[in-house]
């Protein structure tokens, strides 16, 4: 499973990229607003930090303007992925951009049929929003399973399932069990993945015993 981090916080991305475990980054207009910085500058900085795809979302709602915005975003760096909303206009832009060799991430996916359309439009990634479905009393993980089953039925569909709106480590584990290709994870949740109290306790005991030996490896 690939790990993307879902943030526009460049310092966080730099820190996480240093682990070597980061395969890409996703941003959205809300995350850009939260950063308080200029969109194009932030995307350029992230693209220089992470070799993998960096999703930058268009803000137009009609295909023609989406394509103009995408042209600007694509000029920033070769690893920019154009993020488009799951609307007819977004799908039309997806088809045109994918045919032109762009990497497209179709976002705001809340149904298996929407994911099927994104795949037919040539999207490199589709982003089902797990947490937002959970928030309204549905099981977001069921959607990941449905999309996985449908895509597996049609091996010619090459779109990767990018599990998004992840809120906690169990979401990551469940998405991995189903076989989602990618999880885009908020930095705090990514950091939580390594945590286990027995790991901390075990390490503490090993180090205490090691100290008793009076030895040093170096």
Which residues carry out catalysis?
A: 83
Q: Minimal CA–CA distance to 8: which of 29, 32, 39?
A: 32
DSSP-derived secondary structure letter, 188: H
Instruction: Supply the DSSP string of 63-102, one letter for each residue.
Output: HHHHHHHHHHHHHH-TTEEEEEESSHHHHHHHHHHHHTT-
How many residues are present in the chain?
A: 218
Radius of gyration over every alpha carbon of the chain, rounded to an integer in angstroms? 19
Q: Which of 90, 184, 189, 190 binds ligand G3P (CB under 6 A)?
A: 184
Applying CB under 6 A, does 2 fall inside the site for ligand G3P?
A: no
Stretch 45-74: interaction string toward ligand G3P, x if CB under 6 A: ------------------------------
Site membership for ligand G3P, residue 165 (CB under 6 A)? yes
Interface mask toward ligand G3P for 127-146; x: CB under 6 A: --x-xx--------------
Does position 9 bind ligand G3P by CB under 6 A? no
With CA atoms as reference, report the closest residue to 147 among 182, 188, 103, 116. 116
Q: Record the tokens describing residue 25, joined without a space.
A: 């980054």
Q: Compute the least distance from the CB of residue 166 to ligand G3P, in Å.
A: 7
**Residue whose CB is nearest to ligand G3P in the complex, by number:** 165
Minimum Å gap between C-beta 22 and ligand G3P is 15
Question: What's the CA gap between 199 and 46, in Å, rounded?
Answer: 32
Element (H, E) at 4: strand 2-6
Distance in Å from the first CA to the final CA of the chain: 36
Of 33-41, 125-133, 194-202, 210-218: span binding ligand G3P (CB under 6 A): 125-133
Binding status of residue 164 toward ligand G3P by CB under 6 A: yes
Nearer of residues 28 and 98 to ligand G3P, judged by Cβ:
28
* Helical (H) or strand (E) element with 137: none
Decide if residue 28 touches ligand G3P (CB under 6 A): yes
CA distance 191 to 100: 37
Min separation Cβ 210 and ligand G3P, Å? 42
Task: Note whether 98 binds ligand G3P by CB under 6 A.
Answer: no
CB of 31 to ligand G3P, least distance (A): 7
Binding site for ligand G3P (CB under 6 A): 6, 26, 28, 129, 131-132, 164-165, 184
């Amino acid at each position: 499973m690939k790990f993307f981090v879902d943030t526009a916080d460049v310092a966080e991305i730099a820190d996480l990229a240093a682990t070597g475990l980061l395969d890409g980054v996703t941003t959205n207009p809300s995350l850009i607003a939260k950063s308080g910085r200029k969109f194009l500058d932030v995307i350029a900085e992230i693209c220089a930090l992470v070799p993998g795809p960096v999703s930058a979302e268009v803000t137009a709602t009609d295909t023609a303007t989406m394509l103009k915005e995408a042209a600007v975003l694509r000029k920033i760096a070769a690893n920019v992925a154009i993020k488009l909303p799951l609307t007819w206009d977004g799908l039309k832009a997806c088809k045109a951009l994918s045919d032109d060799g762009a990497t497209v991430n179709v976002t705001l996916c809340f149904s298996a049929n929407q994911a099927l359309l994104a795949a037919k439009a040539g999207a490199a990634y589709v982003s089902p929003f797990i947490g937002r479905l959970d928030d309204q009393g549905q099981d977001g993980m069921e959607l990941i399973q449905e999309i996985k089953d449908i895509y597996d039925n049609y091996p010619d569909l090459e779109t990767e399932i990018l599990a998004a709106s992840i809120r906690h480590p169990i979401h990551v584990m469940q998405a991995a069990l189903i076989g989602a290709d990618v999880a885009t994870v908020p930095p705090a949740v990514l950091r939580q993945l390594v945590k286990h109290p027995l790991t901390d306790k075990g390490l503490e005991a090993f180090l205490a015993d090691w100290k008793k030996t009076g030895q040093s490896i170096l």
